[in-house]
Structure 1
Amino acid sequence: MNPNDEVMSGGMFSEDDLIYSYTRAQALADGVLIDLSERARHCGIKYPTACTAGLWALIQAIPKPDRDMREVAEAVRISAVLSALLEAIRAARGTDRVTFRGLGVELWAQCGPGDDGEPVITVMMQGED
């Protein structure tokens, strides 16, 4: 018997064995997720909220006429996304996932457990997981 047979047949590990985990805190620290929690609270969203780096790049893609006021334009774009999210949450009631439109593209958000089991929201562009 080959020593790897047990590993290959699943005898060494069960389906419940954790091989790797990547926490939300790590994703935020790495820039994979961008924390929008403070601005989300100002828009009326009570849970910690983050967006993907892909959506953040879209938020930061300021049209040429607005580039002189980048900070203001970025804040307006973030508020637009979060306001559309809040509207979708209010309309959806009873689900942990909503789809909505923001910045001219289809977006979606998932409410799920954070690193300590607390509810957190992640906002993404369609096609991102």
Structure 2
Amino acid sequence: MLNDDDLIYSYTRSQALADGVLVDLSERAHSCSIRYSTACTASVWAVIQAIPEPDRDMREVAEAVRISAVLSAMLEAIRAARGTDRVVFRALGAELWAQCGPGDDGEPVITIMLEGED
């Protein structure tokens, strides 16, 4: 009836971004010299947003600083690792890891996850 090559269902990165399962960080990543599209899981996004700021403007600034902290820690881990598609690092008090793999069209993309997520 079915063999190993029959695809029953596929959930694309684009769908995950549209659904909020992944949060696009590409614009901020590009400003940090990361040339690949970059996203984090909703769980990592919750860590980034975990510290409430009373003032809306300050909340946006704090969020940008926390995103930069995650991306900087990831970049440091990538530079230290050299030649691997997976790095583990710590940022904002959380154990994180990033995977570079193929996007929907085979292009390299980076996904940042909490340790234990896949």
Q: TM-score, normalised by structure 1?
A: 0.87
- Separation of aligned partners in 2, 1:105 and 1:122: 16
Structure 2: stretches of 5+ with no match in the other structure: none
- Separation of aligned partners in 2, 1:16 and 1:108: 30
Counterpart of 1:35 (choices 10, 24, 30) is 24
Say which SS state the counterpart of residue 34 (structure 1) adopts. Answer: strand
> Which residue of structure 1 aligns with residue 40 of structure 2?
51
Amino acid at match of 1:60: Q
**Which 4+ stretches in 1 moved above 6 angstroms?**
none
Say which SS state the counterpart of residue 67 (structure 1) adopts. Answer: coil
- Whose radius of gyration is greater, 1 or 2? 1
Percent identity over the alignment?
A: 81
Amino acid at match of 1:118: E
Asked if 1:101 corresponds to 2:90, the answer is yes
- Separation of aligned partners in 2, 1:95 and 1:123: 15
Q: TM-score, normalised by structure 2?
A: 0.95
Alignment RMSD? 0.8
Count of matched residue pairs: 116
Amino acid at match of 1:102: A
> Which residue of structure 2 aligns with residue 6 of structure 1?
none
Report Cα offsets for 1:89-114 as digits up to 9, x if no partner.
11111100000000011100000000
Report Cα offsets for 1:49-84 as digits up to 9, x if no partner.
000000001101125xx4321000000000000000
Asked if 1:23 corresponds to 2:12, the answer is yes
